[in-house]
């Protein structure tokens, strides 16, 4: 119980007006479903109706964030925002989310943003799946392929080649590679 109290005190923000306060948090792309992103602490003396904390909007739209929970604990309401079961953060795809939250306490209603910055985690490599051709079909390697022949080209995240073609006579990737190497 003491540990929970300490955690709440460390992570909680006592907020009287969400509109005048914005929250900024960083989260690693390696964080998965169920990860707690933020704790919130609210003072509310009104018990009727029960206070609420809602997630109104996420930009860009995604289902990666659960609706926030709100529970009463020793006279204070503590909210918690977590990643949903569909969360697959990728800083190269989307590195910034804006969540719009609404807190209601009796007749008092206030709203404010939570900015979530997704940070790259170079130790967390995400695979796109099995190797496939640009058309989507699986690549078949014949048993008669000669030693040293190029079987595939590895495309690293953020360095994808769009519209590239393999030149059979040179074994090079067209459009971006030439005799002089990589060119933009």
Name residues whose C-beta falls within 8 Å of residue 111's C-beta, 6 or more positions apart in sequence.
Answer: 18, 19, 56, 100, 101, 102, 103
Dihedral, 78, 115, 113, 104 alpha carbons, nearest 10:
-20
Strand pairing class (172-173; 166-167): antiparallel
For residue 9, is pLDDT > 70? no
Please give the residue that has the higher pLDDT: either 131 or 41: 41
Would you state the structure tokens that stand for residue 144, as one six-digit string? Answer: 């008669």
pLDDT in tens, 46-64: 767 789 999 999 999 999 9
The pTM for the full model equals 0.59
For residue 10, is pLDDT > 80? no
For the chain, give percent helix, strand, coil, nearest 5: 5, 40, 55
| CA-CA-CA-CA torsion sign (54, 56, 59, 61) | positive
Please give the residue that has the higher pLDDT: either 31 or 151: 31
For residue 25, is pLDDT > 60? yes
pLDDT for 45: 82
pLDDT for 125: 61
pLDDT in tens, 157-182: 555 554 444 445 444 443 443 344 44
Architecture label for domain 22-142: Sandwich (2.60)
Q: Which residue has the tokens 């796109």?
A: 128
pLDDT in tens, 52-102: 999 999 999 999 999 999 998 887 889 999 999 999 999 999 999 999 999
Strand pairing class (36-42; 14-15): parallel
Average pLDDT, the chain: 74
pLDDT for 42: 85
- The residue among 46, 120, 115 whose CA lies nearest residue 81 is 115
Q: Domain limits of the chain? A: 22-142
- The residue among 122, 183, 181 whose CA lies nearest residue 156 is 122
pLDDT for 46: 72
pLDDT in tens, 105-152: 988 898 999 999 999 998 866 555 555 555 566 666 677 777 777 766
CA angle (122, 124, 59) in 5-degree steps: 90
- How far apart, in whole angstroms, are the C-alpha atoms of residue 174 and residue 72? 62
């Amino acid at each position: 119980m003491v540990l929970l109290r300490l955690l709440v005190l460390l992570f909680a923000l006592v907020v009287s007006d969400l509109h005048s306060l914005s929250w900024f948090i960083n989260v690693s792309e390696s964080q998965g479903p169920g990860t707690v992103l933020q704790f919130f602490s609210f003072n509310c003396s009104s018990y009727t109706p029960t206070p609420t904390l809602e997630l109104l909007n996420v930009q860009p739209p995604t289902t990666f964030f659960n609706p926030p929970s709100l529970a009463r604990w020793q006279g204070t309401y503590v909210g918690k925002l977590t990643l949903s079961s569909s969360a697959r953060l990728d800083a190269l795809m989307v590195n910034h989310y804006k969540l719009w939250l609404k807190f209601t306490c009796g007749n008092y209603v206030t709203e404010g943003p939570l900015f979530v910055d997704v940070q790259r985690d170079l130790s967390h490599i995400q695979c796109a799946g099995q190797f496939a051709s640009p058309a989507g079909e699986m690549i078949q390697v014949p048993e008669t392929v000669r030693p040293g022949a190029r079987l595939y080209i590895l495309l690293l995240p953020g360095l994808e080649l769009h519209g590239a073609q393999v030149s059979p006579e040179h074994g090079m990737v067209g459009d971006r590679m030439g005799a002089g190497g990589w060119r933009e």
